[in-house]
Amino acid sequence: MQTAIKTLFMRGGTSRGPFFREADLPADMATRDRVLLAVLGSPDKRQIDGLGGAHPLTSKVGIVRPGTTPGVALDFLFAQLQPDQETVDTTPNCGNMLAAVVPFALETGMVAAQGETTTLRVLTLNTDMQCDITVATPGGRVSYDGAARIDGVPGTSAPITINFLDTAGSVCSGLLPTGNVRDVIDGVEVTCIDNGMPLVIFRAADVGRTGYESVAELNADSELKARIERLRITCGHVMGLGDVTSKNYPKMTLIAPPRDGGSLCTRSFIPHVCHDAIGVLAAVTVGTACVLPGSVADGVAVMPAGDDKTISVEHPTGEFSVNLALDPANPQNVLRAALLRTARLIMRGEVMIPSAVWAGKNAG
């Protein structure tokens, strides 16, 4: 016997995975995590017995419920799994999967469309972060067709706008968890920063690389990966995150001067595999580092003038633009971070798991 669980399989930005109503999953966290592992087929590097895509970017789950905070329409819990590990991490955010939350809620009737566009406030439970998400809903139904294009996803889709309301210190104690805009750790100049995602940012040249290497080259660079992991573990302690050996954060981001007309070139490790692009909240955090005087990005990034800045973050498969509004009285205070994503419903139905893992809501 197997247990059937209702799900929508969705792409959000450059990630994808199954989305569930919270009410359709076990209330007990340990049982819920066993269910999610079974759904994706972890631990197994191919995830051959589940829906996972054998990569961290396709080993993700979204869990949604009606909002429980005044003014918030939806609560979102993101779960990061790994292909070959028996872990379910609900500590960090995922801005890519976040793009699919409102479409999921509209598709399942959890919320109603407001008109030609629908804007809903979403609370990410992982880090207690709120954002306003706007999707196209012509005729009262979510639309996936449009002219918006994001690097890392083929074709075009309807635009989804995410306006983050408060991202500083999402996991760490604040925007700059060490208290400094720049530190020297393990012999490397770094900026430890959290404006939606804990990151350690450092110049590629400082670890003997150009920052323009391909993803395959970096993933095959065992010497560099070992060096980065030692640095990550040390930075985890000074950032107040404790022992991060088994955690998915902080992410490690190498930077170099732009070479394709953007603001900055990046190579992001998430944390042990080089990202084919860059995560949404990692891009927001990198963009924030670019506007901080004295950060490791200062003098490397090519910055536009004015208090309203669009930062083009180059990555291995294109670029990611982040719009930052700065406080004129305090340029280190980011008032708003907004960006464009797309999403698509890929499949609706039921995912089957062994009843030995969970017998379902109505069992017994």
pLDDT tens by residue, 68-123: 999 999 999 999 999 999 999 999 889 999 999 999 999 999 999 999 999 999 99
Instruction: For residue range 262-272, list pLDDT tens digits in order.
Output: 999 999 999 99
Share of the chain above pLDDT 70, in %: 99
Split at pLDDT 50, 70, 90, the class of 307 is: confident
Confidence of residue 364 (pLDDT cuts 50, 70, 90): low
CA distances from 144 to 67, 130, 141 (A): 24, 24, 10
Average pLDDT of the segment spanning 344-348: 98
Using alpha carbons, list the distances in angstroms from residue 316 to 150, 155, 214. 13, 18, 7
pLDDT of 92 reads: 87
Predicted confidence (pLDDT) per residue in 121-170, tens digit: 999 999 899 999 999 999 999 999 999 999 889 999 999 999 988 788 88
Confidence of residue 325 (pLDDT cuts 50, 70, 90): confident
Count of other CB atoms within 10 angstroms of residue 259:
11
Mean pLDDT rounded to a whole number for the chain: 95
Eight-class DSSP state of 342:
-
Q: Where are the domains of the chain?
A: 2-159+343-354, 183-335
pLDDT for res 306: 84
343: nearest Cα among 94, 22, 42, 87: 94
Q: How confident is the model at residue 329 (pLDDT cuts 50, 70, 90)?
A: confident
pLDDT score at 105:
98
Do 269 and 286 touch, CB atoms closer than 8 A?
A: no
The answer to whether 256 touches 210, Cβ cutoff 8 Å, is yes
Own/partner pairs for 116-121, CB < 8 Å, 24+ apart?
Answer: 118/142, 120/73, 120/74, 121/67, 121/71, 121/72, 121/73, 121/74
Helix ranges, 205-279 (H): 215-219, 222-238
**Bigger pLDDT: 255 or 307?**
255
Are domains 2-159+343-354 and 183-335 of this chain identical in fold?
A: yes
pLDDT at position 124:
96
Token digits of residue 115: 């008109």
Other beta carbons less than 10 A from residue 84's beta carbon: 13
CATH topology classification for 2-159+343-354: Diaminopimelate Epimerase; Chain A, domain 1 (3.10.310)
Res 250 pLDDT > 60? yes
326 pLDDT band (50/70/90 cuts)?
A: confident
Q: Which fold has domain 183-335?
A: Diaminopimelate Epimerase; Chain A, domain 1 (3.10.310)
Per residue in 160-219, pLDDT tens? 999 988 788 889 999 999 999 999 999 999 999 999 899 999 999 999 999 999 999 999
